[in-house]
Structure 1
């Protein structure tokens, strides 16, 4: 019974870790709700009025979510600086509350300064957010000079409660977050293996569904790998440890993605294109006619289940003999003589399983230190030696390149500050026409739609989502207000539930977050005895007005069109892709070592930025369907290119230690066409009048000679050639949707 209970708890823990990597959403929700609850408890014991309770609750929420630094020391400094900013803001709000013109003018200046403060990093962003939100709070609760002492006391109590929750009750150190992200990576890797097993077993009519699950699992694993990358600098003791974890995470991700592609190829009539794993909605290739042999299929199914078990048990402290036996057997597939009799495609899958187990072993050694080697087989011992040699070759070299900083109105923070100030001015004027009491809702919406947006299209989509969430939230607010009635503490309890739901859902759906915010406001209006149907309808009108003012300001004042923004980011992605490809090929050709994994992660980050910027183009309500399909296709092709470039970079870093990989000087010339084509496409994106053409020609394998594919020491392996050829094909494929002319192959 105890063993069954442990198994259930382990499965539940893995599910939670996979659904919320690093428990970041859970931590944010608990910390915020705890700070609010503590503030309300202390203020209620002191006999505070309901207006002061509401002010304290909002201040605790702001003091908690505004601070984003990773190190606890930096968080403490920002929180300490935030209190005087909050006190000054609420005091000015109380003094200027009755001075309409001066108060509105000050509000616009405050908004400008709050947005401009983003250029000073996380601390500037946090202090600006606190200043704006607390001034808004003073308007919401109707602060006056007479109530100012109580409001300041509530502010101080809120910040103290936030500090207690942040540093004592729900602490989150960089090392702790990194540890939880590692658990999430393991859980999501196990989920991906499960999706691969489902793909292997899926009948023809369910292949598309199984492929979608495989595609989603691959994307989720990559998302977690990027989150780990963002925590390595603060969460590891030194740069060498960070690079070691980075290497092992990259190896595991690449091996898992390659295994999925090999499985898809084994199930279908022809070699699967990598694009199939990255293009949403792409149909599954046709399944091969004859069924695979029962014995080979049963062995493969058993080994996939064994791989799933190894992934789940890695790092759990379980080092039983049975687990070691399974690991030894699967690592044996890295040797040709241990492969079971099967077709070439199925044997590739068994090799992929062996490489996946090696990556899991390397990840476990990197994260948990030396392991018990008493039960190692020769294949496992050889894998450990390779991993040790790779680890020893890792150094902390490399310097980050300085990026050219934009100045004046070209600086994004300055431009956004001007746009928000203009939009807020329009929102104040329009909001006053709708309601002289609650005009600030339009200003709040205008402010929010500019947060974390960079183009007019992003602002339009965010405004639409906020309006949609607000409409449904108003309906929920009406229902909740009717159920709560005059029960103050019941309303506060529901407010805490809604706030937790708001923070837990924020990274998943902005519409859902807006829904919870609006429903919560309905309860707050009930507590302030200002609730009515007219007030909630006014909330919708002010929200729509604020979103419209934000869009107008973004479109007319220093506009950044979505096309311009995506073209800039596309150029950055292509530049990073060329850097990774050229550096990897150079090292594979015998050139000097380079910071390949860093370059690969820079490529991944640039691609993530592009993916976010193209969301307005791919949104379901976008009327330009052809443009939407083109954007989706281009992003999928770039993800395919990034996968092959990542794999080339990871393979090139193995050169000094891997016995079956050696430099081949012919590669540099053969892959030169691919690098030149990337440059041609980048030039065309930057200048549509550029006249260069994309080149096509013989395959890279043929350029290296007929014996280049022989996988023996001293020559590049077949796998590297396949990745180079697939990358070359994907780059040529980018030319058509981007309107780049393709030259006819030379005779």
Structure 2
């Protein structure tokens, strides 16, 4: 029973870790709700009236979510600086409240400064956010000069409560967050292996569903890997440890994605295209007839389940002969003589399982330290020696070159500040036409739609989502206000529930977050005795005006068109892709070692930025269906290219230590066409009139063929050759949707 209970707890822990990597959303929700609850408790014991309770609750929320630094020391400094900023903001709001024109003008200036402060990093962003939100808070509760002492006390209690929750009750150190992210990576890796097992067993009618699960699992695993990479510098003791973890995470991700592709190829009538794993909605290839032999299927099913067990138990401190036996068997598939009799495609899957087991072993050693080696087989010993050699070969890497910083109105923070200031001016004017008392809702919406957006299309989509969430939130607010009535304690309890839901769902759905915010506001209006149906309808109208003003300002004032933004990011992705491919091929050709890990990470980050920027183009409600499909196809092709480039980079870094991989100088010339094609596409994206075209010609395999009497330069694995050819094909495939001419061989 104890074992069963432990198993249930472990499964629950893994499920939670996979759904919320690093428990970041859970921590944010609990910390905010806890700070508000502590503030309300202290203020209630002091006999504070309801308006000051509302002010304290809102200030606690702002003081908690505004802080974004990762190190506790930096968080403490920002929180300490935030208190005087908040007190100054509420004071100016109270003093200027009766001077409408001057107050409105100052509000616009404050908004400009708050957005401009983003250029100073997380601290500037946090202080600007505190200044704006506290000014809005004072307008919401109707702050006056005579009420300032009470507001000062409420805000001070809120900041202290936020500090108590942040540093004493729910502390989150970078190292602790990284540990939880590692657990999430293992859990998501196990989920991906389970999805691959379902793909093995899926019938012809279920292949699309099973493939969709594998595709989603692959994307979720990559998302977690990116989150880990973003926190390695702060969460690891030194640079060498960070690079080792980065390498092992990358190895595990590549091995898992490759295993899924090999499984898909084994189930298909022909070798599956990598694009199938990256293009949403792409149909599954036709199932092979006859299917995989029963004996091979049984063995594959057994070993995939064993790999799933190995992944989950790798981080639990579990040891024993049974686990060692499973690990030894799977690692044995890295040797040709241990492969079971099966068709070539099925044997590739067994090889993929062996590589995945090696990646899991490397991940465990990197994260948990040395392990018991008493039960190792020769294959496991060899894998450990390879991993040790790779660890010894890792160096500190080179410093990243400083990037040229834009100045003046070209700087994104300055441009956004000007746009928000203009949009807020329009929102103030439009909002006051609707209501002289609650015009600030329009300004708040205008402000929010500009946060974390970079183009007109992103602002339009965000404004639409906020309006949709507000409409449904008003309906919920009406229902909750009717149920709660004047029960203050019940209302505040529901406010806490809604705030937790708001922070927990914010990274997942902006519409849901807006829904919970609006429902919460309905309860706050009830507590302030200002609730009515007209007030909540006015909330929708003010939200619509704010969203429209934001879009108008983004479209007319220093606009950044979605096409321009995506083209800039696409050019960056192509440049990074060319750098990774050229550096990896150079190293595989015998050239000097390069910082391939960081180059691959930069490629992944650039691709993530492009994927986010194309959301307005790929949104389900967009009327431009052909453009939406083209954007999805281009991003999927780029993800395919990135996968092959990452794998080439990982293979190139094995050169000094791997016994079966040696440099081949012919690769540089054979793969030179691929790099030239990437740069040609980038040049055409940057300037549509550029005289650039994509070359085609003989396959890379034929270019590497050697005549009799030609000396043979080392060995290059079939895997490297396949990835080079797939990368070359995917790059040529990019030419058509991007309008780049393709040169016909012989002309």
- TM value normalised by structure 2: 0.99
Structure 2: distance between partners of 1:69 and 1:746: 58
State whether structure 2 residue 321 is matched by structure 1 residue 344: no
The answer to whether residue 433 in structure 2 is matched with residue 430 in structure 1 is no
* Equivalent residue number for residue 267 of structure 2: 267
Pairing 1:294–2:297 present: no
Does residue 129 (structure 1) correspond to residue 143 (structure 2)? The answer is no
CA distance in 1 between counterparts of 2:217 and 2:38 reads: 39
**Which aligned runs of 4 or more in structure 1 are off by greater than 3 angstroms?**
none
2:531 — aligned with what?
Answer: 531
Which whole-Å CA distance do the structure 2 matches of 1:587 and 1:573 have between them?
Answer: 21
Residue 737 (structure 1) aligns with: 737
Partner of 1:242: 242
CA contact (8 A) 1:225 1:250 kept: yes
Aligned length: 744
Q: Is the 8 A contact 1:661 1:713 kept in 2?
A: no
Report the Cα offset of residue 746 of structure 1.
2.7
Deviations 1:104-159 (A, max 9, x none): 00000000000000000000000000000000000000000111000001110000
TM-aligned CA distance change 1:428 to 1:707, over 3 Å: farther
Counterparts of 1:354-393 in structure 2 under 5 Å? 354-393=354-393
Q: Which runs of structure 2 are paired with 1:16-415 in the superposition (5 Å)? A: 16-415=16-415
CA distance 1:61–1:705, change in 2 (3 Å): same
Deviation digits for residues 145-201 of structure 1 (CA, Å, limit 9, x no counterpart): 111000001110000000000000000000000000000000000000000000000
Range that drifts further, 79-88 or 698-707? 698-707
Distance in 1 (alpha carbons) for counterparts of 2:547 and 2:271: 48
Unpaired stretches in structure 2, ≥5 consecutive residues: none
2:188/2:220 contact within 8 Å kept? yes
Q: 1:505 is matched with which residue?
A: 505
Which moved further from structure 2: 391-400 or 564-573?
391-400
Cα distance in 2 between the residues matched to 1:38 and 1:669: 67
In structure 1, the residue matched to 2:675 is 675
Match of 1:646 in 2: 646
Distance in 1 between the 2:714 and 2:485 partners? 80
Superposed CA offset, 1:389-411 (max 9, x none) = 00001111210111110000000
Give 1:315 shift: 1.4
d(CA) in 1 for partners of 2:576, 2:148: 54
1:559 is aligned to 559
| Equivalent-residue separation in structure 2 for 1:621 and 1:343 (angstroms) | 46
Corresponding residue of 1:616? 616
The secondary structure found in structure 1 opposite 2:493 is helix
* DSSP-derived class of the 2:397 partner: coil
CA positional deviation for 1:693: 1.1
Describe the superposition over 1:613-656 as per-residue Cα deviations: whole angstroms up to 9, x where unpaired: 00000001111100000000000000000000000000000000
Q: Tell me, in whole angstroms, the C-alpha distance in 2 between the residues paired with 1:706 and 1:200.
A: 39
1:569–1:610 contact (8 Å) kept in structure 2: yes
What's the secondary structure of 1:690's corresponding residue? coil
Give the Cα–Cα distance (whole angstroms) in 1 for the partners of residues 146 and 183 of structure 2. Answer: 52
1:355-412 superposed Cα distances (whole Å, 9 cap, x missing partner) = 0000000000000110000000000000000000000011112101111100000000
Q: Is the 8 A contact 1:114 1:132 kept in 2?
A: yes
What is the rounded CA distance, in whole Å, between the counterparts of 1:292 and 1:43 in structure 2?
Answer: 69
* C-alpha displacement of 1:460: 0.1
Q: Who is 2:522 aligned against?
A: 522
Verify the 8 A CA contact 1:660 1:713 in the aligned structure 2. no
2:478 corresponds in structure 1 to 478
Residues 95, 145 of structure 1: 8 Å contact kept: yes
Q: Cα distance, 1:715 vs. partner?
A: 1.1
Shift of 1:18: 0.1
Name the CA distance, whole Å, in 1 between partners of 2:551 and 2:42.
42
For the residues of structure 1 that align with 2:263 and 2:733, how far apart are their CA atoms? Answer: 24
Q: 1:698 to 1:713 in 2, by over 3 A?
A: closer
For 2:736 and 2:597, how far apart are their aligned partners in 1? 30
Alpha-carbon shift at residue 22 of structure 1 (Å): 0.1
For residue 737 of structure 1, give the secondary structure of its aligned residue in structure 2: helix
1:714 Cα offset (Å): 2.0
Tell me which moved more, 441-450 or 289-298.
289-298
Kindly indicate whether the alpha-carbon contact (under 8 Å) linking 1:659 and 1:713 is maintained by their aligned counterparts in 2.
no
- SS of residue in 2 equivalent to 1:315: coil
Which position in structure 1 is the counterpart of 2:700?
A: 700
User: d(CA) in 2 for partners of 1:344 and 1:687?
Assistant: 46
Query: Matches of 1:65 and 1:504 in 2, distance apart?
Result: 12
The answer to whether the 8 Å contact 2:202/2:210 transfers is yes
